[in-house]
Amino acid sequence: MPLARRPSTEAEAAALASGIRLRIIRLTTFEAMTNKELAARLRRDPATTLHHVRRLVDTGFLVPQEPRRGARGAKEIPYLSTGLSWQLDNADADPVVINEAMLEAYLAELAEADLAETDTARLVVQVPAGEVAEFKRRLDGLLEEFKARPRDPGAERTAVYVSVYPSR
């Protein structure tokens, strides 16, 4: 059964309206990363990345972990995703802004992927108007089923991007 999502707050929706922040959430889903590690992975300036990290912490998408010592002995704070983004319904947010951020994040991640290891499909189906909601619920249910499985530290990570839209 698909997860019952709660409406996002205005601050949460605004935090999700950034492709870079969506990428930070994804990168920290299974592994805590410091701001320095995130900046290097995203090829961004650490100060800019820290701005995004702080925004995600303030809105509950990231949680700081126990500080640790870096290579030069400096204190570093790793951050881990809380999974909140998957629990929200952004119906009240501007769908164009949220969808553009998701697409931006997807395209940036795909640009870094090995296309030989990427399985891509594109399909147009005919779904009667009265069955579109069921189609979306079933897709959501499948994603939720795999999301809810116990974490296996040795398992391969698989990214999924799904977009359902009218084909005109």
pLDDT at 79: 98
**Bridge partners, 75 (sequence order):** 69
Mean pLDDT per 10-residue interval, the chain, length 168 residues = 76 94 96 96 96 98 94 91 90 85 93 91 91 92 91 88 87
pLDDT at 168: 84
- Give the C-alpha separation, 157 to 94, whole Å: 30
pLDDT at 100: 93
Task: Read off the tokens for 148.
Answer: 């809810």
CATH fold of 6-115: Arc Repressor Mutant, subunit A (1.10.10)
| Distances 52 to 21, 22, 26, 47, 159 between C-alpha atoms, Å | 6, 10, 13, 9, 22
pLDDT at 165: 87
pLDDT at 1: 44
What are the structural domain ranges in the chain? Answer: 6-115
**DSSP letter, residue 88:** E
pTM summary value: 0.86
- Give the C-alpha separation, 111 to 77, whole Å: 28
- Give the C-alpha separation, 85 to 102, whole Å: 12
Contact at 8 Å (CB) between 143 and 3? no
Q: Which residues have C-beta within 8 Å of that of residue 47, sequence separation ≥ 6? A: none
